[in-house]
Amino acid sequence: MRRVTAADNATATPEKTAEHVLDEAHKALAERSYYSRYPESPSPRVYGENAAAEGLSAYESLLGKKFEGLAGAFDGEWVGEEKSPYGPTLDVAYPHLDVKGAMDAAGAAMPSWRNAGPRRRAVVLVEALEQLNKRSFEIANAVQHTSGQPFVMAFQAGGPQAQDRGLEAVAAAYVEQARVPASVTWEKPGRGEPTRMQKDYHVVARGVGLVIGCNTFPTWNAYPGIFASLATGNPVVIKPHPSAVLPLAITVEVLQKVLRDNGFHPELVQLAPEAQGEGLAKVLAERPEVKIIDYTGGPSFGAWLEREGAARGQQVYTEKAGVNTVVVDSTDNVKAMLGNLAFSLSLYTGQMCTTPQNIYLPKAGIDTDEGHLSFEEFGTKLAGAIGGLTGDDAKAVEVLGATVNDDVRARAGSLDKIASDAGGSVVADSREVTHPKYPDAVVRTPGLIGVDVEASDAYTTEQFGPVTFLIGTDGTEQSLATFRDTVRQHGAMTAAVYSTDEGVLDQAREAAMDAGVALSENLLGQVFVNQTAAFSDYHGTGANPAANAAYADSAFVAGRFRVITTRRHV
Amino acid sequence: MRRVTAADNATATPEKTAEHVLDEAHKALAERSYYSRYPESPSPRVYGENAAAEGLSAYESLLGKKFEGLAGAFDGEWVGEEKSPYGPTLDVAYPHLDVKGAMDAAGAAMPSWRNAGPRRRAVVLVEALEQLNKRSFEIANAVQHTSGQPFVMAFQAGGPQAQDRGLEAVAAAYVEQARVPASVTWEKPGRGEPTRMQKDYHVVARGVGLVIGCNTFPTWNAYPGIFASLATGNPVVIKPHPSAVLPLAITVEVLQKVLRDNGFHPELVQLAPEAQGEGLAKVLAERPEVKIIDYTGGPSFGAWLEREGAARGQQVYTEKAGVNTVVVDSTDNVKAMLGNLAFSLSLYTGQMCTTPQNIYLPKAGIDTDEGHLSFEEFGTKLAGAIGGLTGDDAKAVEVLGATVNDDVRARAGSLDKIASDAGGSVVADSREVTHPKYPDAVVRTPGLIGVDVEASDAYTTEQFGPVTFLIGTDGTEQSLATFRDTVRQHGAMTAAVYSTDEGVLDQAREAAMDAGVALSENLLGQVFVNQTAAFSDYHGTGANPAANAAYADSAFVAGRFRVITTRRHV
């Protein structure tokens, strides 16, 4: 698949480019082949010599002032309490929505957007993604200083990879709508003349889409819902996490400009920032205009949204929490396996919804290319691999980032207690790392706790942050059974298996299908279990309690619009 | 589109025929063009000289005894209290499920059905529909004597039209699953060799599908859910309405035989009959194995299923109740309009979920090809048209059928009270008709009540059965506004408009899109607002409170399965 080159872009209009990108994305999604529109490398060779500096400068110019210029219905208040996990206070104030006015503005913006049709909407949204891509460095700084991600990750996951997920949602939504023909002449044979009717099929939006953002991945977890709802004709209100507003404020600014430039109401996308503890998500969710909710966050509010949303006739897509799992049976490359796992656990201090938490392996140990490893030796070697990756503070922070909140920090500091409560022991404590540039950042390495499979109370709840359990089982059969049962009951976003035995791999696939979770097998190189690729890997499955939706299968888009038929005789 | 002929069938295997039918159905669904696999005419020229007599005889042979031979986990009890709305008691006893055993049997039946894959499942289900079609006359008698439908309607809606809806669901489910490629080699370009991964995409079922049937359309409203869940790999438990078990018992018998003949567990489909008042639907809905629910019935239990089902992670599809609407503005063929409306109101005594209840027209009357008609004259003429259709008892019963339950009978007998409570008047009372063959049948003609638009308390709740409101408005603008608002708030399965003014028709289309209901315009002939055609007309929209689903859009099938990815380096 050929990417549009700079030369193409020089002569293409934004609309022509967007048309082309949409067609590429459409094809990639059908094949689930490799495709990325937005390069993930922050290299100057890709984004230009000055892009990094300009992005940083653009970010810094936003700090310490009001975020002006957004369209929407505001109540005159300004809110904003963002503090970087690296230390500095952002001190940005955002205009607070007048909820009733915002719903009215969204409703007024809807008909022309609906009537524009699926193709036009998709093209406009691709234009917005192209514009967002140009601000990737600015967004990267905003993501870094709200989520605590290390910079390169904030760039990749917060910028191009989020944009690719947005594009995927646009393509998926477009494809699903395009399958509905605009019109048909229906001829029913009869005794004499056939009965002929003209039937027109109108794709209509559901209503206002509410997107509730999270602290750790403010753009990556919000873009699929934002773009899927917009692409299907729904206006969107975005309620960011109060600690991670800025990345979505920039996003709304870009979307509003592109919508306005294309003749649509900018109020199709409105930002709903709130004060800490205000509870605005609940207020918005209870509005009768809201028909779709996309949520990333804690399980108890997520469950409330699912239950009450269904009662209100809302389509609710949630990503909550789970216990991600690795089953280790055997390997022919123990070094690569441990390196891969160490990176998975270390990246962003285990604060990804996809980071493994539970590693099952036989108490009797595993066979490897370096001979048999006991359970204890496996733990020691994994701790060593983590140490190798994170031993140097200056390099470590580029992998670990910073801890996002006090909850994670408290957990990182209490491994002893977690271990003793579970009747286990600390295999590797979570080490305090000093950030060379941000002394106030709380940076921690991943901690490992060894427990027996009986200690299920400990490992069947999500321990968000740098806590991983090494769980000793009676053998791989029990590892797989426990994997299946715990994921069915408690959910998971990811799973992995290491084995040299094709029979075990087959059993692991069966267990993954039963559990309803995607499975990565024998990852040894530069692909990690916590990463999914847009257009090819689904993020989540919707088949276990961790999430009721996946980015982006057809179920993620099919319920966001309805078809209204009008029919008459011809 | 060519139908398979008898000659083709003579040489074709059941599997070849099913493959061919699936491909035809697939194509029709994409185009939404006319397609029907199962002829709706009960004529001997279509179904054979002896088909009617043999079907009646097969039906009669079931009466007064145990319905033996079903597969499933039973608890040793037998239940059954069906009494025909035409009078006779059916006296059929059905084996009562052991719920836990049934869930275990369904679970055990699932893996081989899942592993068979979407195409094989679809082909087997088409074979089952072909076999069901052969029992259409038997099913017609069973539907007639459980629902109270007139015979021809029971044949059409209960037999071939239900089978077509089942086929539509199979095709829609197949298409949606077929869009997921089985496998891809994913190549991500890198500095040196690309990163290559093999990714396999496994379509997996959600769990047990529970289908809760209704009294009035035991097969038509159940087949879409049954076939959609089965086609996506889910075992199904069917809980029929205790007054309408037999049509679904025959259905289960046929499905189990075809599944068994094809090497699958017959327990993929189990019948869950219950005693009146047993509350088995709730017990089944609360089972952890149940992941999908299809429900047709009253709004309060439907709302409970939606809310609690979402909390349990179930996908819930409901059809509840609404206020179907006709807006009359003007016509150039008043005779045909009144004839069409009279038939819509009379058919099955208004006991269709699609029968119009609210007819809005200006208090100042309407313009027609016979001159201006006052509000009162319109009522008199519509009453006359109903009288013309139903004046002769022997002919009337072939349109009206029999009233299905005491609730409908009570309503039919209390038009005066309904009218006076609403400050209106009875325009045409619901007349008692004597059935020439079944003296115990309670047969009623449609009643008309004239009210002012202000009397919204009366007409915004569903008055199931032979009660229609003629609602006087200040003009068509108010008619359309009230139509839009009441449907948004109270739901509707259908809507129609009569106007000679293209501007009014445009406004009606806009109102229908806002209300989220399909619109029939100026129906004057043999197409009626209460009828939808499989493959072309969606039944319901899912966009208003009457139903959260439509037969059969992509949202109806996309949530019934999930995709599990397994990936590894190559």
A497 closest CA partner among A481, A485, A487, A508 = A508
CB contact under 8 A, A310 and B313: no
pLDDT per position as a tens digit, A406-448: 999 999 999 999 999 999 999 999 999 999 999 999 999 999 9
A313 contacts B310? CB cut-off 8 A: no
pLDDT, average across residues A79-84: 97
**B559 contacts on A by Cβ (under 8 Å):** 542, 555, 558-559
Residue of A30, A543, A559 with shortest CB distance to B562? A543
Percent of chain A with pLDDT over 70: 98
Distance CA(B194)–CA(A525), nearest Å, equals 12
Tokens of residue A323, six digits: 């216990």
For the domain made up of A325-521, the CATH class stated in words is: alpha beta
**Which CATH number among 3.40.605.10, 3.50.50.60, 1.10.274.10, 3.90.1170.50 corresponds to the domain A6-320+550-569?**
3.40.605.10
Encode burial over A79-99: b for 16+ CB neighbours within 10 A, e otherwise: bbbbebbbeeebebbbbbbbb
User: In A490-551, at which residue ranges do the beta strands (DSSP E only) sit?
Assistant: 495-498, 519-521
The answer to whether A518 contacts B566, with C-beta atoms less than 8 Å apart, is yes
Task: Please give the average per-residue pLDDT across A37-44, as a whole number.
Answer: 96
Q: Which residues contact A35 (CB under 8 A, 6 or more apart)?
A: A1, A24, A25, A27, A28, A29, A534, A535, A536
Counted residue by residue, chain B has a size of 570
Sign of CA dihedral B517, B523, B528, B532: negative
Q: Which of A36, A180, A197, A485 to mutate to test the interface with B (most CBs of B within 10 A)?
A: A197
Report the amino acid identity of residue A130.
E
- Give, as one character, the DSSP assignment of residue A202: E
Half-sphere exposure of A329 (CA within 13 A, CB side): 21
Does residue A4 register a pLDDT over 50?
no
- What is the Cα–Cα distance from A135 to A370, expressed in whole angstroms? 48
Half-sphere CA count of A247, side-chain side, radius 13 A: 38
* Nearest residue, CB atoms, A563 vs list B31, B309, B538: B538
Q: A520 and B517 in contact (C-beta within 8 Å)?
A: no
Q: Is the pLDDT of residue B7 over 50?
A: no
Q: Is the pLDDT of residue A8 over 60?
A: no
Which tokens in the block code for residue B305? 């299923």
Residue corresponding to tokens 């005894």: B65
Pick left, alpha or beta for residue A217 (phi over 0 → left; psi -120 to 50 → alpha; otherwise beta). Answer: beta
Report the distance separating Cα A314 and Cα A93, nearest Å: 31
Q: Fold match between A6-320+550-569 and A325-521?
A: no
Chain A residues with CB-CB distance to B566 below 8 A: 509, 512, 518-521
Residue B321 has pLDDT above 80, yes or no: yes
Report the gap between the CA of B20 and the closest CA in chain A (Å): 21
pLDDT at B12: 75
The secondary structure of residue A86, as a DSSP letter, is T
Dump pLDDT digits (tens) for A310-319: 989 999 999 9
- Rounded to whole angstroms, how far apart are CA atoms B90 and B71? 22
Tokens 């989220």 appear where? B516
Residue B203, strand partner residues? B563
The nearest alpha carbon in chain A to B292 belongs to A543
CB contact under 8 A, A563 and B550: yes
Q: Indicate the residue of A114, A179, A524 with minimum beta-carbon distance to B554.
A: A179
Cβ separation B181–A31 shorter than 8 A: yes
Residues in chain A closer than 8 A to B289 (CB atoms):
none
> Cα angle at A209 between A206 and A215, to 5 degrees?
160
The model's confidence at residue B2, banded by pLDDT at 50, 70 and 90, is very low
User: According to the 3-state scheme, what is the secondary structure of B506-536?
Assistant: HHHHHHHHHHCCCEEECCCCCCCCCCCCCCC
Rounded to an integer, the average pLDDT of A37-52 is 96
Q: What pLDDT is stored for residue B6 in this prediction?
A: 46
For A258-295, write each residue's pLDDT tens digit: 999 999 999 999 999 999 999 999 999 999 999 999 99
For B58-110, give the secondary structure using H, E and C: HHHHHCCCECCCCCCCEEEEEECCCECCCCCECCCEEEEECHHHHHHHHHHHH
pLDDT 10s digits, B293-315: 999 999 999 999 999 999 899 99
Give how far Cα A165 sits from Cα of A156, A162, A532, A551, B195, Å: 12, 5, 10, 8, 20
Residue A190 has pLDDT above 60, yes or no: yes
Closest CB to B563 among A180, A527, A553: A553
Mean pLDDT for all residues in chain B: 96
B395 touches chain A (CB under 8 A): no
Tokens 């008892």 found at: B393
Q: What pLDDT, in 10s, does the model give residues A130-147?
A: 999 999 999 999 999 999
Chain A, residues 136-175, CB within 8 A of chain B, namely: none
CB pair distance less than 8 Å for B518 and A565: yes
* Whether A268 contacts A230, CB under 8 Å: yes
Which sign, positive or negative, has the C-alpha torsion A243, A247, A250, A256? negative
3-state SS of B101-129 is HHHHHHHHHHHHHHHHHHHHHHHHHHHHH
Return the percentage of chain B with pLDDT > 90, whole number: 96
Output the six-digit token pair for B229: 């869940």
Kindly identify which residue of chain A lies nearest to residue B499, measuring between CA atoms. A568
- pLDDT for A11 equals 64
Taking residues B171-181, what's their average pLDDT?
Answer: 96
Alpha-carbon distance A418 to A424, whole Å? 8
Structure token pair of residue B547: 């139903």
| pLDDT (mean) for A53-76 | 97
Instruction: Tell me the per-residue pLDDT of B345-358, one tens digit each, with 9 for 90 and over.
Output: 999 999 999 999 99
Contacts of residue A414, defined as CB under 8 A and 6 or more positions apart, other chains included, come to none
Is the pLDDT at B3 greater than 70? The verdict is no
**CB-based contact A313 B204, cutoff 8 Å:** no
Measured distance CA(A528)–CA(B354) in Å, rounded: 53
pLDDT digits (tens, 9 = 90+) for B98-112: 999 999 999 999 999
Do the Cβ atoms of B188 and A34 come within 8 Å?
yes
The pTM (predicted TM-score) of the whole model is: 0.96
pLDDT at B15: 87
The H or E element spanning position B325 is strand B325-328
Q: Does B57 touch chain A (CB under 8 A)?
A: no
Q: Which residues 3-32 of chain A have a CB within 8 Å of chain B?
A: 30-32
Cross-chain Cβ contact B518/A564 below 8 Å? yes
The answer to whether the Cβ–Cβ distance between A559 and B558 falls below 8 Å is: yes
Distance CA B448, CA B338 (A): 13
Q: Which residues contact B295 (CB under 8 A, 6 or more apart)?
A: B212, B301, B302, B305, B316, B317, B318, B319
Give the residue extent of every domain in chain A: 6-320+550-569, 325-521
B6-320: CATH class: alpha beta
The complex's ipTM works out to 0.95
CB pairs under 8 A between A and B: 199
Portion 174-193 of B in contact with A at CB < 8 A: 176, 179-181, 184, 186-189
- Mutation target to probe the A interface, by most A beta carbons within 10 A, among B232, B513, B551 is B513
Q: Which among B114, B307, B566 is the nearest to A512, CB-wise?
A: B566
- Length of chain A equals 570
Of A7-16, B239-248, B378-387, B470-479, the least confident: A7-16
Tokens of A200: 């027109």
Q: Identify the pLDDT of residue B11.
A: 64
pLDDT for residue A142:
98
| Contact flag B512-A566 (C-beta cutoff 8 Å) | yes
- Whether residue A3 has pLDDT greater than 50: no
* Radius of gyration (C-alpha) of chain A in whole angstroms: 25
Any CB–CB contact under 8 A between B517 and chain A? yes
In whole angstroms, what is the distance from residue B72 CA to residue B267 CA?
Answer: 5
Residue B499 and residue B331: Cα distance in Å, rounded?
A: 5
DSSP string, A32-82: T----SS-----HHHH-TTHHHHHHHHHHHHTTSB-----S-EEEEEE---
Q: Are B466 and B418 in contact (CB under 8 A)?
A: no
What average pLDDT does the structure give for chain A? 96
Burial of A459 (0-12, 13-18, 19+ CB in 10 A): buried
pLDDT of residue A7: 46
**pLDDT digit string, tens, across residues B30-49:** 999 999 999 999 999 999 99
Q: pLDDT, tens digit, for every residue of B482-536?
A: 999 999 999 999 999 999 999 999 999 999 999 999 999 999 999 999 999 999 9
Closest by CA position to B226, among listed B183, B261, B188, B272: B272
Identify whether the C-beta of residue A494 lies closer than 8 Å to the C-beta of residue A515.
no
For residues A326 and A329, give the distance between their C-alpha atoms in angstroms, rounded to a whole number. 10
